[in-house]
Amino acid sequence: MLPILFSCTRSRPGDSAKEPVGIETAIVSGMPPDGGLYVPTSLPFLPARVFDPEPLPYVELARLVLESFFPGWEDGSLQAILDKAYGPGIDNSAPCFDDPAICPLKPIGSPGGAGSEGPGLFLLELFHGRTCAFKDLALSVLGGFLRESLDRLQRDEPVLVLTATSGDTGSAALEGLKDIPGLSVAVFYPAGGTSEIQRLQMTTTGPEGRFVAAIRGDFDDAQRAVKAVFTRASSGQGPLSGVFLSSANSINIGRLRPQIVYYVAAWRSLAARGSLGPGGLMHVAVPTGNFGDILAAKYAKLMGLPIGNLLCASNANKVLADFFATGVYDRRRELLKTESPSMDILVSSNLERLLYLASGSRPERVAALMGNLAKEGWFEIDEAEKSYLADFIGGWCGDRSAQGAVARTLRESGVLVDPHTAIAIEVALRSGLGLGTAVPIVVAGTASAYKFPRACLEALGRMGPGKGKPGESDLALAAKLAALVKGDLPEPIRILSGAKVLSDRVLNIDEVEPALGVFARGMGRGA
């Protein structure tokens, strides 16, 4: 089989003959110089072993799913990276995940409600890593991917990894890429746009080789600023023009590949329970912001995993729900601040990769659509492209409905979910997909509820007038939440108590690039 290469989602006049690149170049570059994203030129079929009912440790499943994307890494390089991330711990070190299953699957009820018949809803718990969010599944291996790719390309200069975050990616990048030789990390998050615990996870990290800053703006502003730095640097402009840049966002194809694995793990878990539908089918429901998590499910489907519908769940910032309903993507609206801050996004970067597939892999078409989005704030896809997206179903709900889903899920199944996951549960229930069918719905549980204790306590009727102390910290509320539900506060959150804030800078958008330039000049000298 020919090695899988990676091409760009966009093209400019005269760029039609641009050569695809190998996985190493795609990973270390983060994104192509023309502002597009890297996509695989082909997708392999999942190996037959993953459909075999014999048990497989997660680390071995990951190797089977990913090795086709990493030609030449069969020499043990890929296995070593996966062992370090998903194994039981090396040299007496603590494992990266607190559950040996890595992402356990739990039943959380029936689409028809308590007492009704049906295949049921299942929660895929993706929050057992070191920052209690699904980003850990990919970022625990991305550092190894970057280091190995740099070595294979014989690049030994310092690398600055840029990250825009709406909450969880920043802390997962800081944790996952720490202690990787030659890598420094810069993280930007919207001031006032994350939960207190998300912010503490970023701002209490050690300063060496780390740059963490809030920006006066929203996530879309942070994402645009990071992309602008890449684009200007690649054309020799600005203070980062001579700096080797990469990315830890899901714009980096190395971030996206490992996310395919946990959908395969979910399917295998359902198969072991005898809970799959006809033809081995399952649906997935994913709370969606930047579109990477649900795109990984689409890739898994294209690789042969029997997935029926992909439920794209949005909060009140329902630009994606509207897009799948109408074919029009329109960001010309106010960004609302919600209790699910990681989904407070109006420009979902990874949708560009889906558009590339829907357009028949025509980069000139994607460039036109994305150009119209940048200039006019909207675009519309054609009928053929809409037809390609027929397996996606968009849905949304507001904070109040999400609170209802938090309370109902705890009451009916004894499982506590966070506000983002609650939105996916509510959208799954409203979709009607599970009613009158034998096909289960897997809900991606994207974060620990203890990262959002205020919203969860409010959902459970324990916050509001006369409830809770004024100014009570989220860490205190997380402990209160754990006591209420008789749960254990995750260690990554518990250790934040008393941690010192080391990064409290707040920048305007136009200050991002100059500040990065100053930081980059100190890279390699303990900056």
Burial of 242 (0-12, 13-18, 19+ CB in 10 A): exposed
Across 33-37, 215-219, 437-441, which has the greatest mean pLDDT? 215-219
Cα 465 to Cα 338, 461, 462, 469, 500: the distances in Å are 20, 10, 10, 10, 31
Q: How far is CA 510 from the centre of its chain?
A: 27
Distance CA 244, CA 227 (A): 14
Query: Which tokens in the block code for residue 517?
Result: 């330039």
Task: Report the candidate in 459, 452, 422 with the shortest Cα–Cα distance to residue 199.
Answer: 452
Backbone torsion region of residue 343, taken as left when φ is above 0, otherwise alpha when ψ lies between -120 and 50, otherwise beta:
alpha
pLDDT of residue 1: 62
Residue 205 reports pLDDT greater than 90: no
Cβ neighbors of 334 (< 8 A, separation 6 or more) are: none
pLDDT digits (tens, 9 = 90+) for 81-126: 999 999 987 766 789 999 999 999 999 987 666 555 556 899 999 9
pLDDT of residue 207: 67
Distance CA 327, CA 358 (A): 12
Distance CA 133, CA 342 (A): 11
pLDDT digits (tens, 9 = 90+) for 261-281: 999 999 999 999 999 999 999
pLDDT of residue 525: 45
What residues does 314 pair with on adjacent strands?
Answer: 396
Query: Which tokens in the block code for residue 379?
Result: 């675009």
Instruction: Fill in the DSSP letter of residue 160.
Output: E
The type of residue at 190 is P
Residue 291 reports pLDDT greater than 60: yes
Cβ neighbors of 422 (< 8 A, separation 6 or more) are: 402, 403, 405, 406, 409, 459
Distance CA 225, CA 520 (A): 16
Average pLDDT over residues 65-93: 92
Distance CA 49, CA 27 (A): 27
Among 3-12, 236-245, 255-264, 478-487, whose mean pLDDT is lowest? 3-12
Helix (H), strand (E) at residue 212: strand 210-215
pLDDT digits (tens, 9 = 90+) for 139-162: 999 999 999 999 999 998 999 999
Distance CA 277, CA 302 (A): 18
Task: Report the candidate in 31, 393, 445 with the shortest Cα–Cα distance to residue 246.
Answer: 31
Cβ neighbors of 346 (< 8 A, separation 6 or more) are: 220, 317, 319, 331, 333, 335
pLDDT of residue 470: 60
Query: Which tokens in the block code for residue 110?
Result: 């029936």
Residue 246 reports pLDDT greater than 80: yes
List the domains of the chain with CATH numbers. 105-132+256-449 (3.40.50.1100)
Q: What is the CA radius of gyration of the chain?
A: 22
Count of CA atoms in the C-beta half-sphere (13 A) of 392: 29
Cα 384 to Cα 312, 354, 381, 390, 393: the distances in Å are 20, 14, 8, 10, 17
Q: What is the pTM of this model?
A: 0.94
- Using an 8 Å Cβ cutoff, are 433 and 417 in contact? no
The type of residue at 287 is P
Residue 66 reports pLDDT greater than 90: yes
- Using an 8 Å Cβ cutoff, are 187 and 175 in contact? no
pLDDT of residue 328: 98
Task: Report the candidate in 10, 1, 6 with the shortest Cα–Cα distance to residue 27.
Answer: 6
Query: Which tokens in the block code for residue 29?
Result: 């570059």
Average pLDDT over residues 348-356: 97
pLDDT band at 466 (very low <50, low <70, confident <90, very high): very low
Q: How many residues appear in the chain? A: 527
Distance CA 343, CA 134 (A): 13
pLDDT band at 365 (very low <50, low <70, confident <90, very high): very high
Residue 31 reports pLDDT greater than 60: yes
Average pLDDT over residues 25-43: 92
Helix or strand or coil: residue 506?
A: strand
Distance CA 22, CA 440 (A): 37
Distance CA 118, CA 416 (A): 22
Distance CA 402, CA 414 (A): 17
pLDDT of residue 450: 97
The type of residue at 52 is D
Task: Work out the mean pLDDT of the chain and round it to a whole number.
Answer: 92
Residue 8 reports pLDDT greater than 70: yes
Among 76-85, 105-114, 400-409, whose mean pLDDT is lowest? 105-114
Distance CA 141, CA 84 (A): 8
- Using an 8 Å Cβ cutoff, are 86 and 404 in contact? no
